[in-house]
């Protein structure tokens, strides 16, 4: 017969309380249920385990011998199911973050400074975010990712950190600067450098253009904000 490990919980409660009624209260079970479990324990062990006296239940030598082992097994089982507690001062976790070069420059300095105060033994590992970011999150290869476009849906959780303003960057001697103003058609006629991190959604700029029934010409797509700016500055 396959052993019923739930019986060990009942045996532990009976050993601790010495009473069917107190054990039933501790386990949130009815007294008949505890009595039935005790009968099954007696059948399984071939021992009466407890004898009645004026002081309640008195354990037999077999019950005394089992008590410590059973208490340890029950405590181990409870510890396995207990939510893991994180002590930021004592523990030394490694947080793996998916970041772009922009997020690294804007967020990491303040994040590292804050973590050093709250969790001095923690380490931060910044990884370049790319097309596989969502897969890495699902696989547990990174713990979180800084996302710049529309947040992905289920099963991912997200929170807004801040809003950013978009600006157009041109090389300093670009002829369009002589016009003073730049209309939509002139803007769309330019060759654009965009940051592409493999996000599933469009950038806010392209979302706005799509709503207008427009699209832009992309001459360079790279995963680096800094590289794009350097390329724009050196463009002919």
pLDDT tens sequence across 123-161:
999 998 877 888 888 888 999 998 877 777 888 888 888
Helix (H, G, I), strand (E, B) or coil at 107: helix
Q: Which tens digit of pLDDT belongs to each residue from 24-46?
A: 999 999 999 999 999 999 999 99
Helix (H, G, I), strand (E, B) or coil at 12: helix
pLDDT attached to residue 117:
92
Integer angstrom CA distances of residue 108 from 103, 105, 145, 196: 7, 6, 12, 20
Give kind and range of the element (H or E) at residue 67.
Answer: helix 61-81
Identify the residue whose tokens are 């529309």: 150
Q: Which residues pair with 58 in a beta bridge?
A: 51
Q: What's the maximum distance between 2 C-alpha atoms anywhere in the chain?
A: 104
pTM of the model: 0.56
What angle in degrees, to the nearest 10, is found between the helix axes of 61-81 and 6-17? 120
**Is residue 102 within 8 Å of 227, Cβ to Cβ?**
no
Going by their DSSP bridges, the two strands 50-53 and 56-59 should be labelled as antiparallel
CA distance 149 to 36: 60
Digit-by-digit pLDDT tens for the chain (236 residues) are: 567 888 999 999 999 999 999 999 999 999 999 999 999 999 999 999 999 887 789 999 999 999 999 999 998 888 787 777 778 888 888 999 999 899 999 999 999 999 999 999 999 999 988 778 888 888 889 999 988 777 778 888 888 888 888 888 999 888 888 888 888 999 999 999 998 876 656 788 888 999 999 999 999 988 889 999 999 999 87
**Omega cis (within 30) before 155:** yes
């Amino acid at each position: 017969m396959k052993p019923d490990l739930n019986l060990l919980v009942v045996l532990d409660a009976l050993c601790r309380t010495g009473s069917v009624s107190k054990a039933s209260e501790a386990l949130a079970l009815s007294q008949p249920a505890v009595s039935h479990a005790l009968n099954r324990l007696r059948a399984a062990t071939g021992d009466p385990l407890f004898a009645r006296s004026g002081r309640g239940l008195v354990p037999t030598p077999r019950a005394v011998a089992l008590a410590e082992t059973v208490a340890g097994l029950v405590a181990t089982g409870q510890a396995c199911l207990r939510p893991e507690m994180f002590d930021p001062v004592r523990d030394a976790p490694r947080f793996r973050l998916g970041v772009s070069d922009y997020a690294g420059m804007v967020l990491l300095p303040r994040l590292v400074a804050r973590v050093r105060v709250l969790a001095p033994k923690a380490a931060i590992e910044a990884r370049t975010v790319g097309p596989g970011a969502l897969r890495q999150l699902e696989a547990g290869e990174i713990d979180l990712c800084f996302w710049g476009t529309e947040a992905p849906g289920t099963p991912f959780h997200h929170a807004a950190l801040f809003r950013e303003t978009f600006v157009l960057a041109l090389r300093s001697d670009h002829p369009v600067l002589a016009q003073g103003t730049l209309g939509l058609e002139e803007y769309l006629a330019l060759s654009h450098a965009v940051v592409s991190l493999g996000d599933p959604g469009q950038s806010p700029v392209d979302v706005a253009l799509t709503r207008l029934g427009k699209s832009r010409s992309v001459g360079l797509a790279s995963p680096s904000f800094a590289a794009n700016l350097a390329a724009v500055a050196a463009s002919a």
